[in-house]
């Protein structure tokens, strides 16, 4: 807990320090920018101020010269006591002064006494005043254009003085014309500016200023020399001049504890220096404000980024959580599946085991079946062979006795019986050979009508009624003629056997085509084949007949022969009684095509 508080305190300190550093750098940069901009503004304003001031002065610069050239002016200074001339001149000067919008116009004799003036009618008139102390007068008297800025010693009004010499025909200076102009209008214009403007005289004393409080203050140290020069010209009349605490470093001026950004330029003709002062503190405050705004913006950006990051982190955490949940579910499902899989595998294994057992049981059964068939066969064979053997032996014994008795005829009969018994046994052997043999005799086309007729001819003595229905267009079938006859005789004999008891002795033979095949059915009117033995009657050695009456090979051999023909042998019971054996045979392709 303490550790967290300490680390968050450190973080806060780092943040504050970073903010401070950003603010300092921004403030410094902004100050530089604002100062440069202020400097440019000050320079521009300075240019405009000088232009306006110069233009104003120029308007009046030539006025004294023009007046001095006037005939009447010369005549006046040549007759300084002519009251009528003075009176006329006063009025004329008053009119010119009004025209020019100047402050005062007046004429002086070479000894500095004013003899005529535009303000002749006023109480503070210049008439009779001596202005020899004014530098403009001395300059004009010396034949130059005099110019001077000062406070009127008589009027106490500030003004700029231009003076020109009045020359006689011999080019001698016989008087001086002076024009005083006011600069209050210009000063008033400056007040509308957002910068302080002031003009200093060659001694560094402010005499024009947008802020009246600055007037008559010395920007330069008021040395005795400067004070003496100022006093001699009575520039500022009786107004006291004071020194200001001023320090200047480059364009930064500190005045009365206030710092200003300044631009200054000398106006050589007037001998003035014009100063434009911009409040540096205001500029710095603006720069600080801008830096603060920047810091605010930077903080807002940082906060925004931080917020976005926080949101992103939150979203990521949520995603991770969802992923983990998903993975957990997948794992759960996988485990379930694995379990189910294991179960299935166990089941499969069990089934395999069961299957194996089944197979084993099946093969056991097959083995048992084979043994049973072998047993059946042995019983049948032993009976079939033992019986004729025993009979043959009896006949042989009797024949021996009859020969002894000399009864050759009866002995011969006995031998004949023995021979027939041997034939019977040979027939059994042939039967057995047929079962075992796999005939590979080639198949041929057989006309069913002929085959049926031949077979019926052999069995006919055992039957009473025979109905044959074989359509004329019935195609020949594929098979071996002798083997097919063997099958037919077999089936017909079985039918006769089955009907022997009931004595119905009727048989129906029907043939029909079915999709490339020929179906031949033999229906009898016997008891039919019981369902219990229907699927066993084609097995070898299966018989229901008493020993000695049948070997149980007939249907088995017939079935195999039909398979050899590419056909089939099926049994069913007729709904109205009696067995129906169907021979399914291949129709001859060539004949069938010819028929179609
Ligand atoms: P076998 O005639 O020597 O018994 P088969 O293989 O020819 O041998 O016949 C097997 C058995 O099928 C017969 O024992 C008999 O039970 C039965 N069977 C054959 N044909 C018919 C038939 N038409 N009607 C009833 N049962 C038949």
pLDDT tens sequence across 577-586: 999 999 999 9
Question: Residue 546 class from Cβ within 10 Å (0-12 exposed, 13-18 middle, 19+ buried)?
Answer: exposed
Whether 552 lines ligand 1, by a CB cut-off of 6 Å, is yes
Whether 522 lines ligand 1, by a CB cut-off of 6 Å, is no
Whether 557 lines ligand 1, by a CB cut-off of 6 Å, is no
Sheet with 272-279, side-by-side order of all strands: 206-209, 196-200, 272-279, 258-267, 252-255, 246-249
Cα of 449 to ligand 1 centre, how many Å?
25
Whether 579 lines ligand 1, by a CB cut-off of 6 Å, is yes
Tell me what pLDDT residue 372 has. 66
Cα of 467 to ligand 1 centre, how many Å?
21
Cα of 438 to ligand 1 centre, how many Å?
23
Average pLDDT, the chain: 88
Residue ending a domain, among 157, 182, 207, is: 182
Phi and psi angles of residue 143, each rounded to the nearest 5 degrees, phi first: 90, 10
Tell me what pLDDT residue 387 has. 79
Whole-angstrom CA distances from 515 to 478, 512, 555, 585, 592 are 15, 10, 26, 11, 11
Return the DSSP state at 442. Answer: P
Top mutation candidate among 489, 506, 537 for ligand 1, by most atoms within 8 Å of CB: 537
Residue 587: CATH number of its domain: 3.30.565.10
Whether 529 lines ligand 1, by a CB cut-off of 6 Å, is yes
Question: How do residues 34-67 score in pLDDT, each as one tens digit?
Answer: 989 999 999 999 999 999 888 888 888 889 999 9
Give 232 or 567, the one with higher predicted confidence: 567
Q: Contact 495/522 with Cβ under 8 angstroms?
A: yes
Question: How do residues 380-397 score in pLDDT, each as one tens digit?
Answer: 677 778 878 888 999 999
Give 100 or 427, the one with higher predicted confidence: 100
Flag whether 210 is in a domain.
no
Tell me what pLDDT residue 574 has. 95
Helix/strand/coil for 263: strand
**Per-residue pLDDT for 212 more than 90?**
no
Closest ligand 1 atom to 550 CA: 3
**Per-residue pLDDT for 26 more than 50?**
yes
Cα of 365 to ligand 1 centre, how many Å?
24
Question: How do residues 339-352 score in pLDDT, each as one tens digit?
Answer: 999 999 999 999 99
Cα of 543 to ligand 1 centre, how many Å?
6
Question: How do residues 242-266 score in pLDDT, each as one tens digit?
Answer: 888 888 888 888 888 888 999 999 9
Tell me what pLDDT residue 569 has. 96
Percent of the chain with pLDDT over 90: 47
Distance CA 184, CA 159 (A): 8
Question: How do residues 540-574 score in pLDDT, each as one tens digit?
Answer: 888 888 766 777 888 988 998 999 999 999 999 99
Tell me what pLDDT residue 592 has. 47
Flag whether 403 is in a domain.
no
Domain count within the chain: 2
Whether 545 lines ligand 1, by a CB cut-off of 6 Å, is yes
Residue 87: CATH number of its domain: 3.30.450.20
Helix/strand/coil for 233: helix
Cα of 239 to ligand 1 centre, how many Å?
167
Residue ending a domain, among 133, 166, 182, is: 182
Name the closest-CA residue to atom 23, ligand 1.
495
Flag whether 168 is in a domain.
yes
Whether 133 lines ligand 1, by a CB cut-off of 6 Å, is no
Flag whether 461 is in a domain.
yes
Phi and psi angles of residue 292, each rounded to the nearest 5 degrees, phi first: -65, -45
Give 312 or 427, the one with higher predicted confidence: 312
Q: Predicted confidence band at 237 (pLDDT cuts at 50, 70, 90)? A: confident
Tell me what pLDDT residue 437 has. 57
* Full residue range of the structural domain in which residue 141 is found: 62-182
Question: How do residues 416-438 score in pLDDT, each as one tens digit?
Answer: 999 988 887 887 777 666 655 55
Tell me what pLDDT residue 276 has. 92
Flag whether 145 is in a domain.
yes
**Per-residue pLDDT for 485 more than 70?**
yes
Q: Predicted confidence band at 504 (pLDDT cuts at 50, 70, 90)? A: confident
Cα of 547 to ligand 1 centre, how many Å?
13
Flag whether 580 is in a domain.
yes
Residue ending a domain, among 182, 207, 242, is: 182
Cα of 551 to ligand 1 centre, how many Å?
10
């Amino acid at each position: 807990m303490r550790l967290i508080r300490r680390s968050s305190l450190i973080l806060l300190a780092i943040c504050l320090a970073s903010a401070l550093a950003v603010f300092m750098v921004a403030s410094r940069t902004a100050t530089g920018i604002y100062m440069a901009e202020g400097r440019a503004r000050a320079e521009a304003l300075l240019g405009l101020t000088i232009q306006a001031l110069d233009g104003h002065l120029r308007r009046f610069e030539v006025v004294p010269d023009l007046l001095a050239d006037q005939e009447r002016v010369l005549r006046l200074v040549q007759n300084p006591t002519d009251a009528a001339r003075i009176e006329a001149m006063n009025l004329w000067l008053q009119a010119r002064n009004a025209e020019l919008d100047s402050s005062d116009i007046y004429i002086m004799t070479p000894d500095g006494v004013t003899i005529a003036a535009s303000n002749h009618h006023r109480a503070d008139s210049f008439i009779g005043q001596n202005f020899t102390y004014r530098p403009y007068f001395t300059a004009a008297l010396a034949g130059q254009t005099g110019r001077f800025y000062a406070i009127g010693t008589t009027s106490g009004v500030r003004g700029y003085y231009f003076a020109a010499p009045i020359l006689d025909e011999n080019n001698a200076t016989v008087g001086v014309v002076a024009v005083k102009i006011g600069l209050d209008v210009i000063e008033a214009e400056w007040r509308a500016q957002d910068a302080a403007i002031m003009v200093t005289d060659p001694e560094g004393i402010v005499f024009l200023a947008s802020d009246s409080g600055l007037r008559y203050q010395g920007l330069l140290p008021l040395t005795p020399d400067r004070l003496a020069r100022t006093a001699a010209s009575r520039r500022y009349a009786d107004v006291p001049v004071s020194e200001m605490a001023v320090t200047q470093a480059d364009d930064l001026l500190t005045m009365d504890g206030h710092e200003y950004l300044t631009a200054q330029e000398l106006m050589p003709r007037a001998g003035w220096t014009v100063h434009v002062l911009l409040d540096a503190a205001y500029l710095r405050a603006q720069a600080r404000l801008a830096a603060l705004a920047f810091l605010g913006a930077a903080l807002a950006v940082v906060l925004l980024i931080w917020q976005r990051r926080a949101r992103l982190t939150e979203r990521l955490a949520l995603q991770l959580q969802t992923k983990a949940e998903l993975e957990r579910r997948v794992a759960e499902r996988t485990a379930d599946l694995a379990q189910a899989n294991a179960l299935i595998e166990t089941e499969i294994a069990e089934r395999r085991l069961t299957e194996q057992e089944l197979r084993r049981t099946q093969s056991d059964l097959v083995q048992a079946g084979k043994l049973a068939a072998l047993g059946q066969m042995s019983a049948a064979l032993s009976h079939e062979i033992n019986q004729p053997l025993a009979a043959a032996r009896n006949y042989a014994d009797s024949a021996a006795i009859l020969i002894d008795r000399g009864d050759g005829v009866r002995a011969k009969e006995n031998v004949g019986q023995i021979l027939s018994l041997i034939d019977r046994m040979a027939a059994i052997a042939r039967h057995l050979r047929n079962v075992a043999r796999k005939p590979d005799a080639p198949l041929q086309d057989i006309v069913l009508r002929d085959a049926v007729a031949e077979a019926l001819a052999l069995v006919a003595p055992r039957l009473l009624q025979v109905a044959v229905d074989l359509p004329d267009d019935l195609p020949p079938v594929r098979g071996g003629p002798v083997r097919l006859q063997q099958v037919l005789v077999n089936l017909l004999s079985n039918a006769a056997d089955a009907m022997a008891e009931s004595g119905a002795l009727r048989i129906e033979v029907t043939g029909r085509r079915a999709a490339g095949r020929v179906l031949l059915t033999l229906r009898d009117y016997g008891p039919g084949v019981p369902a219990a033995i229907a699927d066993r009657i084609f097995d070898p050695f299966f018989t229901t007949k008493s020993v000695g009456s049948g070997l149980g090979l007939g249907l088995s051999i017939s079935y195999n022969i039909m398979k050899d023909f590419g056909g089939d042998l099926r049994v069913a019971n007729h709904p109205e009684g009696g067995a129906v054996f169907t021979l399914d045979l291949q129709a001859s392709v060539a004949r069938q095509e010819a028929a179609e």
